[in-house]
Amino acid sequence: LFACRKRLNASREVDPVELPNCQLIKGIERGSEDIDILPNGLAFISSGLKYPGMHSFVPDKPGEIFLMDLNEENPRAVELRISRGFDLASFSPHGMSTYVDEDDSVYLFVVNHPHQKSTVEVFKFSEDDNSLVHLKTVRHDLLSSVNDIVAVGPDSFYATNDHYFFDFILIFLEMFLGLTWSNVVYYSPQEVKEVAAGFYSANGINMSPDGKYIYVADIFDHNVHVMEKHANWNLTHVKTLQLDTLLDNLSIDPHTGDIWTGCHPNGMKLIYYSPENLPASEVLRIQNILSEKPTVTRVYADNGSVLQGSSVAAVYEGKLLIGTVFHRALYCKL
């Protein structure tokens, strides 16, 4: 029990760090779990995640994908239309990743949990009419409890399984006992394989701008693993950066290589949601992670009065988007 409380940071309270130019994004009321920004400033936002044991303000409404153009003076979130034939009723979007092909086609990979299962949905983005064309659904036995993905091709990706089990009771038991059974899987139509293992709960995943390294956040071990990517898609461990918070999704600044992450200062408050004891939010910026002494900066922190349960932070040309598991989303000018 003591070890479980330690993994959840159950006794930590957050000291506030305010940003002066922030506003809540209109229209996003029930989560913005992951955010991925294209090089041209178009930001995709997943909303409406329904996950075993996790709070939801509107559990019966299907999930949505929003789009924001961060080049606009006052950007607004617009819901993207999804092509016919896709099962919207059971859509429960989680982690996301974009891939821009050589012909500038934009593919959006979305982790989905229809009917308490795990799939990866592959869409093609049509900017002309702000819509997503559903191309295919990826299912595989190794993709059993997918949390996040990073696309490495138009039909290939790395994915994290955050638990060995997907049933809520077994997940709780796995977490309580501290089993390190979660992993990272590489998927392509030609090959599917485990490429890293031994995590308490592999969560956010992303890739360095030069494509040489894969970063994996272990949310219950409070750290980021740096993995070297090889030609055969295997990963080898390079280093681990230990922190004092529960790291969720990882975003990469394509110009600097900095890692931005939305974090949960106290995981107990997130899992056991109470309006009288709100889950806090925290944003970290990690600079020069490959160096001997990376610089870690707390950019934003809130006790839940503004933003509850931050899960992602992504930047574009001096603008910051902060998303949450089941609450609102924040737009800030840095």
Q: Give Cβ neighbours of residue 79 (< 8 Å, ≥ 6 apart).
A: 27, 64, 65, 66, 67
Mean of pLDDT over the chain: 96
Residue 54 pLDDT grade (very low, low, confident, very high; cuts 50, 70, 90): confident
Q: Is 33 annotated as a binding residue?
A: yes
Q: Is 248 annotated as a binding residue?
A: yes
3-state secondary structure of 159: strand
Alpha-carbon distance of 223 to 7, in angstroms, equals 11
What is the per-residue pLDDT for 168? Answer: 77
User: With 90 as the cut, is the pLDDT of residue 91 above it?
Assistant: yes
140 catalytically annotated: no
pTM of the model: 0.97
Check which CATH number belongs to the domain holding 192 and give it: 2.120.10.30
Domain with 218, as residue range(s), is: 1-333
Give the number of domains in the chain: 1
Over the stretch 163-176, which tens digit does the pLDDT of each residue have?
Answer: 998 777 888 889 88
Candidate list 55, 94, 134, 163, residue with the active-site label: 94
Q: Bridge partners of 111?
A: 120
Q: Is 203 annotated as a binding residue?
A: yes
Q: Is 313 left (phi over 0), alpha (psi -120 to 50) or beta?
A: beta
Provide the 10 A C-beta neighbour count for residue 172. Answer: 16
